[in-house]
Amino acid sequence: MTWRDAGLRYHAYGHYLKNRFGARVQKVSLDAKMTCPNVDGTVAIGGCVFCDNRSFSPSRRIPQGAIQAQLDDGIRRLQKRYKVAQFIAYFQPATNTYGPVEKLRPLFEEAIADPRVVGLAIGTRPDCVEEDVLELIEELARQTYVSLEYGMQTMHDRSLTWMNRGCTHQAMIDAVARSRNRGFEICGHIMLGLPGESRSDMLATAREVARLGLDAVKIHNLYAVKNTPLADQVAADEVTLMPRDEYVRTVVDFLELLPAECIVERISGDAPADYFIGPSWCLDKPAVKNAIEQQLRGRDTWQGRLCAVPNSTEPAKPDAVTL
């Protein structure tokens, strides 16, 4: 059953997984104790301005042992909350392709060897996928479902510079081109509400997601957590975080421009209260989800309604967006 046949307004991840695996599937966050090239000084120092991996990843908030021990603990916790028997091993915090194949292979293989694990998700950066690493992931994709998640964030280099990303959008273009047709899904993380980005800029990123042909996308607003440069900028009124109503409208606009087949893995984000600074509205994820769905219904619109994938190898341009 397609997502439209199911009465949905966008290609929700839960619907996709249930169709693919026949039942609900949950992700188990795993910490491979990786770092990032913009943390260790390879391309930058200090990491992205918004980043504290403990706030993003459950597996970074408690001491961790071997991968199997993390799987056992995570599955036990998830089974207490959900009636679920199938899991995706999610290498979430930091950059999980930032290392030699000899280090990565045993980590990934240990995770997928667990019979409860039906797939593998690998979070990484687009500037950290050497050819031998892509070959390893392609090999794993012949054994199980694999999603490679790239932190795209935006197509605008000025925003990537602001966030101390340590790479330009060209890295994403290159990574997607080299990842294509290898048997695994290509997912892009997108962040809305970056300082200085207009509605036109954000929708240009939506068009670029469509042009790149990403299989999946994760969307969330810029939010601030403690002990980060962004927290300092918010406290100094140098950065204003996006209001909920504006975010909801922008997400709906964004979804309209995505291809109908693109899987929408996330439409909002939050952080644990003890790490969180703001905006306060994103702590209530069910309310944000309901507001987005209400606006989709109220506007009688849906994912892909305005999608026109450009027949071009050139990135989308902000001034090409029709407002």
Distance between CA atoms of residues 254 and 259, nearest Å: 10
Token output for 267: 């439409």
Confidence (pLDDT) at 286: 95
Q: Which residues pair with 190 in a beta bridge?
A: 153, 219
**Mean pLDDT, 10 residues at a time, the chain of 323 residues:** 94 97 96 90 86 54 72 95 95 94 96 97 96 98 98 96 93 98 98 97 98 97 93 94 97 98 95 90 94 97 90 51 32
Distance between CA atoms of residues 201 and 320, nearest Å: 10
138, 101 Cβ separation under 8 angstroms = no
Beta-sheet pairing, 263-266 with 216-221 = parallel
> How many residues are given for the chain?
323
φ, ψ (nearest 5 deg) of residue 229: -55, -35
Confidence (pLDDT) at 54: 54
13-307 CATH? 3.20.20.70
SS (H, E, C) 162-226: HCCCCCCHHHHHHHHHHHCCCCCEEEEEEEECCCCCCHHHHHHHHHHHHHHCCCEEEEEECCEEC
Distance between CA atoms of residues 154 and 190, nearest Å: 6
* Angle of CA points 158, 263, 127, to nearest 5°: 40
Helix, coil or strand: residue 254: helix
Confidence (pLDDT) at 60: 42
- Biggest alpha carbon distance in the chain? 52
Give Cβ neighbours of residue 241 (< 8 Å, ≥ 6 apart). Answer: 193, 221, 222, 223, 224, 234, 278, 279
Helix, coil or strand: residue 98: coil
Confidence (pLDDT) at 270: 87
